[in-house]
Chain A
Amino acid sequence: MSVARFWRKIPQRYNLIGTKCETCKRHFFPPRTFCPDCRREGKVVDHKFSGKGTIVTYTIIQTAPDQFASHGPYVLAIIKLDEGPQMTTQIVCDPSEAKIGMRVKSIFRRIATDGESGIIHYGTKFAPE
């Protein structure tokens, strides 16, 4: 991934800056700049999420992509943020600990490294609350 491609999403990846539609109050993370409900009536602005949520479903990745191979088995989950939207994230916990319905909170972590000389991708993971 090029530096610019990573860099332009730093607020979203590091600090969970998503968006919300002021017309219908729906929140978006990952962020959207166009409200699919209100369409042209929508007014979408930035919104910082609380970083609290609940595991909807999860898996333990045993066969990892090359970039993530050094992680060992890791927990990948879809979580529902308290503000409403759902997102995909890693859960930092012992794989046997993960459960559907578990409460989680956001933490800042290294996500992956782009080869030996590439940039290090930081971002948000979640851990048991």
Chain B
Amino acid sequence: MRDVAVIGIGCTRFGEKWSESFRDMFVEAGALALEDAQLSGEKIDAMYVGNMSAGRFIEQEHIGALIADYAGMATRHIPSTRVEAACASGGLAFRQAVIAVASGMEDIVVAAGVEKMTDVEPGASTDALTGAADREWEGFVGATFPGLYAMIAKDYMHKYGMTREQLAQVAVKNHYNGARNPIAQFQQEITLDTVLRSTMVAEPLRLFDCSPITDGAAAVILAPLDRAREFTDTPIKVLATAQASDSIALHDRRDISTMDATVAAGQRAFKMAKLTHKDINMVEVHDCFSIAELCAIEDLGFCKKGTAGKFTADDETALGGKIPVNTSGGLKACGHPVGATGIKQVYEIVQQLRGTAGKRQIDGAKIGMTQNVGGTGATVAVHILGRV
């Protein structure tokens, strides 16, 4: 296998983008990534696009072809493939692109993600998202996504005695980071009170424990590491790519508040990169709900099971903490256009490793990690990236 590097990155501002369409967004993200790599579109050999549910959100399928067409690649007839794994679609698109370059089949490959969620009523978008869980045996009986993660939170609090305030600190920290990220949907700091007084969605989770409905697109460009310096002075090497599966339904998991797919993907990634959690300078995890961030940092090994609440309340995951988590603001503050999130995580880590993360910059960042979750943990993608 060949070593693979990220040579270009691009991302739209995330938010409720009423004036921009699905097509406008992915063209913008792709153009930014090409410009960043100082690359002409004629050099692109293939594209992989993460998208969860364009069929439900904009009544459009066949996304691979659509994107190739509007990105100006259709006349060159390059292969363009949509990748779907619910909220992990972006992470899996990145992984497919890495595999394509590593194998030697393709040289210059785009990994992108896009989701346009605000073209339907909020009820329709949450119903589409429920398709990431088990429709027949979870959705049918009245389970919602906040409801499923609320049951994880309840189980976690019952077992480990975490407090409601500790859980709220995840959102406070992520809004602090989001306020320092120019692409974030929410660029305002909040207090514990903001979270604790917000509307109850599914006990114990309140509105500010939940990531928002978001429009956005992100794209990165990959090349063989030995060619990367043709395009950039700061190539970022892909040190590991890993993916794992688990039961589609939460009720079939070995342990409700451990994501075994995160554990498996994390262990595979560390083994592939020959690294441990101590080598990681910052990590982007899938905080679709506040409890998910706590499970993620435990399941990746950054702290012991049951201690992530205190670890977070002690500011160990803040900028300047032992392991900064979600410097982008995470899904909570940066926003969560589901298919784009996995690519945005890579976009953030690459900025950190290049030293261009502005007010969010982690000093001396050398190695970063991403963890992208589909559903309640039925698919997890983990990547490790490093400075060369």
Q: Is the CB of A59 within 8 A of B199?
A: no
Is A113's CB within 8 Å of the partner chain B?
no
> 8 Å CB contacts to B: which residues of A1-55?
9, 13, 30
Q: Of the candidates B123, B202, B251, which one forms a contact with A60 in the assembled complex, judged by CB atoms under 8 Å apart?
A: B202
Bound complex: CA A89 to CA B134 (Å): 13
Say yes or no: A71-B251 contact (C-beta < 8 A), given A30-B137, A59-B202: no
The contact string, 1 if C-beta is below 8 Å from chain A, for chain B 312-339, is: 0000000000000000000000000000
The contact string, 1 if C-beta is below 8 Å from chain A, for chain B 116-156, is: 00000001001100100010111011111011001111110
- B39 to chain A minimum Cβ distance, whole angstroms, is 45
Is A111's CB within 8 Å of the partner chain B?
yes
Q: Of the candidates A86, A88, A100, which one forms a contact with B143 in the assembled complex, judged by CB atoms under 8 Å apart?
A: A88
Bound complex: CA A89 to CA B205 (Å): 19
The contact string, 1 if C-beta is below 8 Å from chain B, for chain A 88-112, is: 1110000100001000000000011
Chain A residue contacts of B130, Cβ below 8 A: 65
- B145 to chain A minimum Cβ distance, whole angstroms, is 10
Q: Is the CB of A56 within 8 A of B155?
A: yes
Say yes or no: A86-B252 contact (C-beta < 8 A), given A57-B155, A62-B203, A76-B147: yes
Chain A residue contacts of B127, Cβ below 8 A: 65-66
Q: Is the CB of B142 within 8 A of A68?
A: yes
Say yes or no: A86-B201 contact (C-beta < 8 A), given A59-B150, A111-B142: no
Q: Is the CB of A59 within 8 A of B147?
A: yes
- Which residue of chain A is the closest to B158 with respect to CB atoms? A100
- B6 to chain A minimum Cβ distance, whole angstroms, is 37
- Which residue of chain B is the closest to A60 with respect to CB atoms? B203
- A94 to chain B minimum Cβ distance, whole angstroms, is 14
Interface size class of B (residues with CB under 8 A): 20 to 34
Interface size on A, residues (CB 8 A): 33
Q: Of the candidates A13, A57, A90, A95, which one forms a contact with B158 in the assembled complex, judged by CB atoms under 8 Å apart?
A: A57
Chain B residue contacts of A85, Cβ below 8 A: 252
Chain A residue contacts of B138, Cβ below 8 A: 88
Bound complex: CA A111 to CA B141 (Å): 6
Chain A residue contacts of B158, Cβ below 8 A: 57, 100
Chain A residue contacts of B136, Cβ below 8 A: 9, 30
Is A78's CB within 8 Å of the partner chain B?
yes
Q: Is the CB of B141 within 8 A of A61?
A: no
Chain B residue contacts of A78, Cβ below 8 A: 151, 250-251, 256
- B238 to chain A minimum Cβ distance, whole angstroms, is 32
- Which residue of chain A is the closest to B133 with respect to CB atoms? A88
Q: Footprint of A on B, CB under 8 Å?
A: 123, 126-127, 130, 134, 136-138, 140-144, 146-147, 150-155, 158, 199-205, 249-252, 256
Other A-B pairs, 10, CB within 8 Å; known A57-B152, A68-B142? A58-B151, A59-B153, A60-B200, A61-B144, A61-B147, A66-B123, A74-B142, A76-B202, A78-B256, A88-B141
